[in-house]
Structure 1
């Protein structure tokens, strides 16, 4: 396997530390490993003994980062839905399997020839699942053709998305969720509307017009794939904003309803598209038109595979994977996780599918020294409620990766508590903002209905780094305040 060398190094390290690991009985509350942590133990046990925690499924493990020794554990072997903290395994497996320098590639090709401004043949857009492909990149492809003197194309515009299989949605995505940005379709050829890189989505912005008129709607990028059904109404200033922007499931109809008050900001939503390949081709065709490049009346825009005789005209490469870690992990991008899983499957087994991608992730876990039988997952993003893992296993992963050569890329992608810059604080930018804890927690968040989690590293008041994992499921209201109390206790320990 690609990651065998690093895995064997990690396994050697694990064995060398085995003598210092504390064996923890599987009790709900346990004693901390030394007198230095007695205050921490008392405070954490008080939280776990609270009546609000009695009816939930929880799992907490705290380790010393220096040795991996468990210093506190509550229900450490309980399997809980990890939500987006599963992305810790996905990112580690991707960095190990693909490498920090891995780049996605998109090619523009043709099987024809150019004569007197006419390209006689087809042009192809071939993708490798690049989630960072933007309209500006397609504009550059069009500019390249224009510089070659092309003004007309006699053949078809063909999108090659065969780098991945044809399955677009992971098993854990509910049909009611598939129109939302966090459940975008996964395709070998896809497009992002801006540098948040939510691939497979379009930004729909509805703003007030004149009183009594429909809201003014703009699409970013502009495209003809989605159809806007505008049933909204602009109402006088002071009225409640009731705008709703939703795509009808199974279609590309985006329906806008409700009232938008004069003087208000309106509403902006990232909405998934059905068929990202067709969406990308449509935007590219508009880029070509903007450069004065036209197709003949018989030309079609279709999906197909690049023939062997086609030649590359231009290529675009993404940022390296080590840089993609920030938008991926800081913003907890589900689409990136699933694209990385399929990419790992393609790289190792020659098939860009969830079956092969998740197989690579399981093999990485096993060869790294984790108990792969304790990791149950059916996607790479953590969106499925059927995913399960214990805090002990997740915290062990966070210990093992510290010895990997790509650890710097891994950890710089994690959100940092209370940091207002969203590419620093990420999903923790508005949490743990107090003076004593701001910047002291570097961790991955997780959130689903009735599920909250946080897993990563804290620096305590003695300058010691601790590894912690908190998984809570089944609560009637958000467990974020409880989790943040736990993190604060660790920082002050």
Structure 2
């Protein structure tokens, strides 16, 4: 049975009957849904009862709605105040301003490390009087396993920021915290025929730029491409960029984030007058070292904001590996997903119907029914960390990036603006939206909309907004 309307008791029955009829009509007559599958679940936020469903028990690809599960599990397992640490160790004494040994940078998963954080660590060493490191600079990423990509990540996403490699030691270019990536900004030259101008953030010699981009005339077709070579940190810029073009920014995943982070740390050391005599390489911190510095990330309650508002895939995978490390002693997708699945069972989800392959939802194999997503959203309302969870969700039509997030340009009409807090999701042929809404009558409801086999994801978002508007106007 595709469409089910669960009759409520009490005075709300008439309103819900109207909503059900409107939703049924929309689903049956929307031309953009032809050939696709829609899973919809609407619950009362007060008692968790399903008041409407359409294919609610059909497993569908959730895209980034998977992050709703990951965030809930992480907040429950790790706690709101959990922080990621990064440590600086030395295996020798400091004599005459020289470290007589190796310097180690040990990562423990922090996906929010910026170049400025590595500068602070270097400044701490400068304050200790260190001017030279006689040995090597060694990066330790063994907190997690060495599997860099989740099981179903397509090869075509290898160079993207949202498909960046996962390492326990990494770096992000900006406070959006796209760990394992750099920001590439391209602008036209001063006149036609000039090479385009390229700027990398953070500035690092770890990335090589091959600039073949040419500034074209005002009427030149814009065909600029920015690509990273496979298994290399060489970014190639080619094509024409009209002289009147605005700055174009791309975020590109690096190859081997551990060495990227280490390169930024070495650069920061040099900027603080500390010279490393030896090589830069990966390795493990030995026993009986001296801890020179420990850097703490923001607490998880704050980290989930860029994770959820901006739909940060790397954060999702890091949180899965961190749960595996903390709870089962192994920072892997396998162990982390075991923990996540166990937490979902505690929230009353039927885990036997789930297919879970990663923490971000980038997988085209992960499959979750809409009714199970809405069940999670109902159950977490009772948790002490629910405020942090709710605060992490994008808010409809709110223009500020860290408030509206991926919903800041959507649902701006009076009936829904500011009244929807929900997680978006997009993959090729997939669009999803699940969260909380306050209706016209003041009733709080929970909804999950998962659309699969779409020809156009943008039209999927418009349909989601129309469905939410129908729910809102009850």
TM-score (norm 1): 0.92
Structure 1 residue 54, shift from structure 2 partner: 4.2
Q: Which residue of 1 aligns with 2:157?
A: 177
Counterpart among 15, 18, 26 of residue 47 in structure 1: 26
| Equivalent-residue separation in structure 2 for 1:31 and 1:105 (angstroms) | 49
Q: Secondary structure at the match of 2:69?
A: helix
Structure 1 residue 294, shift from structure 2 partner: 1.2
Counterpart among 430, 433, 437 of residue 458 in structure 1: 437
Q: Which residue of 2 aligns with 1:76?
A: 56
| Equivalent-residue separation in structure 2 for 1:146 and 1:263 (angstroms) | 45
Q: Secondary structure at the match of 1:308?
A: coil
Structure 1 residue 32, shift from structure 2 partner: 4.7
Q: Provide closer, same or farther for how the CA distance between residues 285 and 307 of structure 1 changes in structure 2, counting only shifts above 3 A.
A: same
Q: Does 1:28 align with 2:18?
A: no
Q: Does 1:153 align with 2:133?
A: yes
Counterpart among 438, 450, 463 of residue 482 in structure 1: 463
Counterpart among 329, 335, 343 of residue 308 in structure 2: 329
Q: Which residue of 2 aligns with 1:93?
A: 73
Aligned residues: 466
| Contact 1:32/1:41 (8 A) holds in 2 | no
| Equivalent-residue separation in structure 1 for 2:269 and 2:117 (angstroms) | 12
Q: Provide closer, same or farther for how the CA distance between residues 123 and 192 of structure 1 changes in structure 2, counting only shifts above 3 A.
A: same
Q: Does 1:292 align with 2:267?
A: no
| Equivalent-residue separation in structure 1 for 2:347 and 2:301 (angstroms) | 20
Q: Which residue of 1 aligns with 2:223?
A: 242
Structure 1 residue 436, shift from structure 2 partner: 1.9
Q: Secondary structure at the match of 2:403?
A: coil
| Equivalent-residue separation in structure 2 for 1:482 and 1:436 (angstroms) | 16
Structure 1 residue 254, shift from structure 2 partner: 0.6
Q: Secondary structure at the match of 2:157?
A: coil
Structure 1 residue 243, shift from structure 2 partner: 1.8
| Contact 1:260/1:266 (8 A) holds in 2 | no
| Equivalent-residue separation in structure 1 for 2:376 and 2:6 (angstroms) | 23
* Deviations 1:288-321 (CA, angstroms, capped at 9, x unpaired): 111121122xx11010111111111111101100
| CA RMSD between the two structures | 1.2
Q: Which residue of 2 aligns with 1:13?
A: none
Counterpart among 212, 222, 228 of residue 231 in structure 1: 212
Counterpart among 411, 420, 424 of residue 403 in structure 2: 424
| Equivalent-residue separation in structure 2 for 1:260 and 1:56 (angstroms) | 38
Q: Which residue of 2 aligns with 1:448?
A: 427
Q: Which runs of 5+ in 1 are unaligned?
A: 1-25
Compare 66-75 and 31-40 and name the one that shifted more.
31-40
| Contact 1:132/1:195 (8 A) holds in 2 | yes
| Equivalent-residue separation in structure 2 for 1:484 and 1:135 (angstroms) | 39
Q: Does 1:439 align with 2:423?
A: no
TM-score (norm 2): 0.96
